[in-house]
Amino acid sequence: MTARRFRHLAAGIALLLVGCAQTTASTPAPDDTLYVARDVVGDGIFSAGIEGPAWGPDGALYAVSFGRDGTIGRVTFDADGSGNAALFATLPAGSTGNGIRFAADGSMFIADYSGHHVLRIAAGAREAAVFAHMPQANQPNDIALAPDGTLYASDPKWADNTGQLWRIDRTGTPHLLETGMGTTNGVEVSPDGKRLYVNESVQRTVWVYDLLADGGVTNKRLLIAFDDHGLDGMRTDVKGNLYIARYGAGAVAIVSPEGKVLREVALKGRKPTNVAFGGPDGRTVYVTLQDRGAIEAFRAETPGREAGL
């Protein structure tokens, strides 16, 4: 990869990045510089199918489509914050990963949109097995893990811009919660486990439900609607603020639990697909970029809700 020059968004200082097959050496924003995007994995290391991402209990970041679809990459970090990406796992034939979440026991769940599954990789292993088989699903896209271990999966049908919402219990049994929705994509649970958030990409809406004791949903209402661009993956911080990938806008929107946009964080790429909190203090937000096949990151004031997993 040839050396690339770019302008640091915070200080306007030109930096020289030298990439290679698996790394990009970049100087991270200092810890007291908030909401300034920087590269941690450079262009083309992942394919355009890059998604996930999720911070593992081993202190590494995981994302799908390392080099090609059907794989999972693992990113470790140097002292300066630059990332070193390598192949972690190859998924079974016919499977394509999308959203990733880690359970409290260290096992990894992966939404498999082409195989119509949710896959699971046990802690310490690298081979994926079917956890939930969902033949009635369109294409499981993103997943969220509630504090009690219940999974929720978005299920868009891009051909007609509709979608569904699923609950997957701790035994791997899927339950259809709602159909006839818009193109369901990002899905997330509030820190207290009492709310479920689901967005619709094409319709640019974010819905919120109350969660019932049995994992069901009730009291659906609109949290926020955007005027332009698409919506993709999202996460909450410990205060319940939503960090939403704004596909096509080149930004991550931070939205309060009341539906107010608190800020938008500008990115280098235009097509963010998902976000995840990580780092030693849980305050680094990692963003996967479809148009770059890269991963950017910025520092936030508040850690993510899953930082303690």
- Dump pLDDT digits (tens) for 100-119: 999 999 999 999 999 999 99
Look at 28-32, 174-178, 261-265, 297-301 and tell me which has the smallest mean pLDDT: 28-32
Does a structural domain hold residue 304? no
Residues 72-84: tens digit of each pLDDT: 999 999 998 889 9
User: Would residue 306 count as lying in a domain?
Assistant: no
- Number of domains the chain contains: 1
Q: What is the pLDDT of residue 12?
A: 36
Q: 252 lies in a domain?
A: yes
Q: Do the domain assignments include residue 293? A: yes
- Other beta carbons within 10 Å of 87: 14
Q: Which residues are within 8 A (CB) of 277 and not within 5 positions of it... i.e. 6 or more apart?
A: 55, 235, 237, 243, 283, 284, 285, 286, 300, 303, 304, 305, 306, 307
- The model's confidence at residue 306, banded by pLDDT at 50, 70 and 90, is confident
> Is residue 305 included in any domain, yes or no?
no
CB-CB contact of 82 with 93 (8 Å): no
Please report the DSSP string for 83-138 in residue order.
EEEEEEEEPPTT--EEEEEE-TTS-EEEEETTTTEEEEE-TT----EEEEE-TT-S
Task: Tell whether the model's pLDDT for residue 2 goes beyond 50.
Answer: no
Please determine, for residue 308, whether its predicted confidence score (pLDDT) is greater than 60: no
Q: Does residue 293 come out as left (phi exceeding 0), alpha (psi in the -120 to 50 range) or beta?
A: left
**What pLDDT score was predicted for residue 80?**
87
pLDDT at 36: 98
At 236-274, the pLDDT tens digits run 999 999 999 999 999 999 999 999 999 999 999 999 999
Task: Please report, for the domain that includes residue 35, its CATH number.
Answer: 2.120.10.30
Q: Kindly state whether residue 162 falls inside one of the protein's structural domains.
A: yes
CA distance 64 to 274: 11
Domain that holds residue 153: 4-299
The verdict on residue 285 lying in a domain is: yes
pLDDT, residue 32, reads: 64
Kindly state whether residue 242 falls inside one of the protein's structural domains: yes
- To the nearest 10°, the Cα dihedral for 209, 305, 152, 296? 110
